[in-house]
Structure 1
Amino acid sequence: MPVCIYCEKEKPASEMTLEHVIPKFLGGACAPDRLKTNRVCQKCNNDLGLFVDASFAKSYLVEGWLNQQAFRCYDPKKPTGLPLIFLHKLRLELPGISEIEDCDLYSGPLAERIIWVRHKDERLYWYTGGNPRTAKDRESRAYFFLSKRSHQDFDVVWRTFHAAFKGQKVRKVLAAQIEGLNPIDFGFSPPDALDQQRIDFLTEPRNFVAEQPKGQVALNLHHDFRFLAKLARGIGFCLVGDKALTGRYAEEVSQALRYRAGSEMPALRGVGSLHLAVGTAGEIIGHESAVVVILSQIPEGIGISLHIGPRVSSAVLCLEAGILTDGDRKSIGNGVALILFPFLGRAVELPLLDYLLHRLGQFRHPDLAQIEDQIGQNKDYFGNLAAISRQQHNTLTE
């Protein structure tokens, strides 16, 4: 029977599932097929998705940068809904809120405000939006408020509102009347007595104003520890097969995958995004509109660096030198760069040197340049709308 690369247990072939070793939220669906495998059991796929991938994806900095990239890649000629931007938790004595609930503040594409009252999960305190599994089963409520700018592109606002909290058991309430539109047709519920109390409370200036009220965000210094171990194991297996499961370092990777807070940390050789100082190198390697995965030869073996924009970077040893053959090293050459655009469904793979020369402006890779030119046509779309709004405001106040 095949062995799952994560739990390293034999499982029937019928229990094995397709695994994108670079997760879909980072653009793994459009990654080369060689970075996908069927050697992952259903249990690992589900559990690691919730407790490892989500620990990374729903951390404040990572989600924030990915959402910024979604806005940069938005094409008003092909309108879609955009992700809501998590701002922080609110400290409000909202009517009817209990001690086991949190109150989160989100922003829409044109400065709309969304208040989500949801179940609190202290175990996963750093997950924006809380526990994604319980959000599918436990009822919660979200209140949507339009802004003075919503009319500038009401289509994207409406699409974003419609797509918000998809797959979650959220009662959505629109705190506005919109002529010619029935909110119920777009998944909104009419406000009940409790909803109306909360809307009245939130629209009082002393309780809620257009600017962001004081709040807080939560960070976990080790939010990406297990994720880096999973990335090392998955990519390592795709590069060299079952050899990636053998050796002293492979055992450390396995222990890192099973790490629990409070226990002794395994000797995973890497550095997380909250510990890695990102300077000029990060500005060059990190792409403002893409996720960048670098594979490179280092004295210790083969290393991976992961960059989400120019500010969020991490690195991990993927395979130790002792198990590598000359052929294994040759497949990496002088380094490989994989540039992923999750919100466009596009990816470009090229030699690391070519990517660096492209970033430095000394060489334009045709495929990468074509995608960047496409993004460049609209990357300032929302900034321009904001500038128009400011200009109109200044004109009215003069």
Structure 2
Amino acid sequence: MPLCVYCGQEKPAEQFSREHVIPRAIGGNLRPYNPFTLNQVCKRCNSICGAYIDGPFVKNWLTQNYRAEIAKKYVNINSNPILPLIYCGPVNGLVYKEKICELWLGPTGDTIYHFHEPYPEEPDVPPMVGIPTYARNDQIDHGFAFLFVRSNNPVWHPASCIPLMNNSNNLLYF
């Protein structure tokens, strides 16, 4: 039986998965061959690594906002792109019932106010932009958002609205 390089336990081969040492979200998806992957990592260790190591790095403020800025330089607006939003942080003093408010900026300076219940926190895990990778679905309140579109060019409007769609592809609010 193979040995997991992270936990050191022997496990059946079907309990192993491909570990991207450099997360795919920041370029760890080289093709046709990616030298930065491991096959000797069990699914449990891979999931824990994604939730508590890769996730906080990929979803930290600097990485997330850099990706949002760089995306605008290379976008083809005619291809209906989905562009990342820039996270500005919580808006102190702006609350609705038990919901906090976070401020985001869209690709043309659009202002998005996202109201939701506070996300669960884990000790010793740095804060993340958006939903924490370790949170379960039943712990998340997707809340609602108000979108104030800045661009008068309607070609840009879908790039501002699409990130606000929830799992059922319905706009929350705008």
Decide: shared fold, TM above 0.5: yes
Unaligned runs of 5+ in 1: 170-185, 192-198, 200-398
Using a 3 Å threshold, how does the CA distance of structure 1 residues 156 and 13 change in structure 2: closer, same or farther? farther
Q: How does 1:1-398 map to 2 (within 5 A)?
A: 1-30=1-30, 32-96=33-97, 98=98, 101-118=99-116, 119-123=118-122, 124=125, 126-134=127-135, 136-137=137-138, 138-149=140-151, 151-152=152-153, 154-164=154-164, 187-189=170-172
The CA deviation string for residues 34-55 of structure 1, in whole angstroms up to 9 with x for no partner, is 3223211111111110100011
When residues 112 and 130 of structure 1 are mapped into structure 2, their CA distance, relative to the original with a 3 A threshold, is same
Task: Give the superposition deviation at 1:134.
Answer: 2.9
Give the TM-score of the pair, scaled to structure 2: 0.82
Q: Report the AA paired with residue 42 of structure 2.
A: C
Alignment-mate amino acid for residue 89 of structure 1: P
Distance 1:134 1:157, change over 3 A: farther
Contact 2:104-2:112 at 8 Å conserved across structures: yes
Contact kept? 2:4, 2:42, Cα under 8 Å: yes
Identity of aligned residues (%): 24
CA change 1:65–1:81 in 2 (3 A) is same
Query: How many correspondences in the alignment?
Result: 169
Structure 1 Cα separation of the partners of residues 161 and 150 of structure 2: 16
Structure showing greater radius of gyration is: 1
Question: Residue type of the partner of 2:101?
Answer: C
Deviating more after overlay: 83-92 vs 128-137: 128-137
Distance change in 2, residues 1:95/1:36 (3 Å): closer
Cα distance in structure 2, aligned partners of 1:68 and 1:84:
9
Deviation of 1:135 after TM superposition, in Å, equals 6.6
State the Cα RMSD in Å. Answer: 2.5
Native 8 Å contact 2:71 2:83 kept in 1: yes
- Structure-1 separation of matches of 2:96 and 2:163: 26
Deviation readout 1:76-98 (Å, 9 max, x if unpaired): 243311011101211134231x2
When normalised by structure 1's length, the TM-score is 0.39
Q: Name the CA distance, whole Å, in 1 between partners of 2:136 and 2:114.
A: 12
SS at match of 2:79: coil
Q: Which has the higher helix share?
A: 1
1-structure distance, mates of 2:35, 2:96:
53
Query: Is this contact kept in 1: 2:65–2:85, CA < 8 A?
Result: no
Asked if structure 2 preserves the Cα contact closer than 8 Å seen for 1:114 and 1:142, the reply is no
* Residues 147-203 of structure 1 deviation map (CA, whole Å, 9 limit, x = unaligned): 332x32x34432442244665x9xxxxxxxxxxxxxxxx5125x6xxxxxxx9xxxx
Instruction: State the shift of 1:122 in Å.
Output: 3.6
